[in-house]
Structure 1
Amino acid sequence: MTVIDPTKLDDLFTREIDEQEVRFVRPGDTDRPDWCAYEGDRFLGMLYAESATGETLWRLGSTTEKHQHLDDAVRALRRPSSWPSERAQVSNWARRLLGDRSLVAVDIETTGLGEAWAVQIAATDRSGRVIFNELVNPLAAIDPEAVAIHKITPDQAATAATFGTLLPALTEALQGRTCVAYKVDFDRGCLERELRRHYGSQAPAEQWLQGCRWVDALEPYAVWRGLWSVKHGRYRAQKLGGPHEAVEDCRFLMARIEQMASAP
Structure 2
Amino acid sequence: MTAEPALLDDLFAREIDGRAARFVRPADTDRHDFAVYDGDDFLGMLYSDQALGTTGWRLGGTTERHGALDDAVRALRRPRSWPRERAQVSDWARRLLEDESLTAVDVETTGLNEPWAVQIAATDRDGAVLFDACLDPRAEIEPGAVAVHNITPEKVAGAPTFGELLPALTEALHGRTCVAYNMPFDRECLERELRRHHGSAEAAARWLSACRWHDAMEPYAVWKGLWSVKRGRYRPQKLGGPHQAVEDCRFLLARVREMADRPARG
User: Which TM-score band applies after superposition, normalised by the shorter structure?
Assistant: over 0.9
Aligned partners of 1:128 and 1:251 also within 8 Å: yes
Query: Counterpart of 2:29 in 1: which secondary structure?
Result: coil
Q: Which runs of 5+ in 1 are unaligned?
A: none
User: Aligned partners of 2:20, 2:12: CA distance in 1, in Å?
Assistant: 10
How far apart are residue 64 of structure 1 and its match? 1.1
Per-residue CA deviations over 1:108-156 (Å, capped at 9, x if unaligned) read: 0000022100000000111110010000110111001000000111100
Q: Does 1:8 align with 2:26?
A: no
How far apart are residue 159 of structure 1 and its match? 2.5
User: Aligned partners of 1:3, 1:151: CA distance in 2, in Å?
Assistant: 33
2:57 match: 58
1:244 match: 243
How far apart are residue 62 of structure 1 and its match? 2.6
Q: Does 1:256 align with 2:255?
A: yes
How far apart are residue 19 of structure 1 and its match? 0.6
Aligned partners of 2:5 and 2:50 also within 8 Å: no
Q: Kindly tell me: are residues 119 and 3 of structure 1, through their superposed partners in 2, closer, same or farther at Cα, counting changes over 3 Å?
A: farther
Q: TM-score, normalised by structure 2?
A: 0.96
Q: Kindly tell me: are residues 155 and 52 of structure 1, through their superposed partners in 2, closer, same or farther at Cα, counting changes over 3 Å?
A: farther
Q: TM-score, normalised by structure 1?
A: 0.96
1:70-149 alignment runs, 5 A limit: 70-149=69-148
1:185 match: 184
User: Aligned partners of 2:117, 2:52: CA distance in 1, in Å?
Assistant: 40
How far apart are residue 48 of structure 1 and its match? 1.2
How far apart are residue 234 of structure 1 and its match? 1.5
Q: How many residues were matched structurally?
A: 263
Per-residue CA deviations over 1:42-101 (Å, capped at 9, x if unaligned) read: 000111121489641111113111111111100100111111111111110001111111
Query: Counterpart of 1:133 in 2: which secondary structure?
Result: strand
User: Aligned partners of 1:25, 1:138: CA distance in 2, in Å?
Assistant: 55
User: Aligned partners of 2:142, 2:132: CA distance in 1, in Å?
Assistant: 22
User: Aligned partners of 2:19, 2:47: CA distance in 1, in Å?
Assistant: 21
2:33 match: 34
Query: Counterpart of 2:249 in 1: which secondary structure?
Result: helix
User: Aligned partners of 1:121, 1:26: CA distance in 2, in Å?
Assistant: 51
Per-residue CA deviations over 1:192-240 (Å, capped at 9, x if unaligned) read: 0100110112111111011111111111111100111111222111111
Q: Kindly tell me: are residues 26 and 152 of structure 1, through their superposed partners in 2, closer, same or farther at Cα, counting changes over 3 Å?
A: same
User: Aligned partners of 1:216, 1:240: CA distance in 2, in Å?
Assistant: 12
After the TM superposition, list the runs of 4 or more consecutive aligned residues in structure 1 that deviate by more than 2 angstroms: 51-55
User: Aligned partners of 1:53, 1:37: CA distance in 2, in Å?
Assistant: 21
Q: Kindly tell me: are residues 258 and 172 of structure 1, through their superposed partners in 2, closer, same or farther at Cα, counting changes over 3 Å?
A: same
Q: Kindly tell me: are residues 159 and 240 of structure 1, through their superposed partners in 2, closer, same or farther at Cα, counting changes over 3 Å?
A: same
Per-residue CA deviations over 1:165-186 (Å, capped at 9, x if unaligned) read: 1000000000111110011110
- What amino acid is the match of 2:235? R
Query: Counterpart of 1:124 in 2: which secondary structure?
Result: strand
Query: Counterpart of 1:56 in 2: which secondary structure?
Result: coil
Query: What percent of counterpart residues are identical?
Result: 69
User: Aligned partners of 2:116, 2:202: CA distance in 1, in Å?
Assistant: 19
**Range with bigger deviation, 161-170 or 53-62:** 53-62
User: Aligned partners of 1:11, 1:215: CA distance in 2, in Å?
Assistant: 46
How far apart are residue 4 of structure 1 and its match? 2.2
User: Aligned partners of 2:158, 2:146: CA distance in 1, in Å?
Assistant: 16
User: Aligned partners of 1:136, 1:68: CA distance in 2, in Å?
Assistant: 39
User: Aligned partners of 1:9, 1:113: CA distance in 2, in Å?
Assistant: 39
Aligned partners of 1:26 and 1:36 also within 8 Å: yes
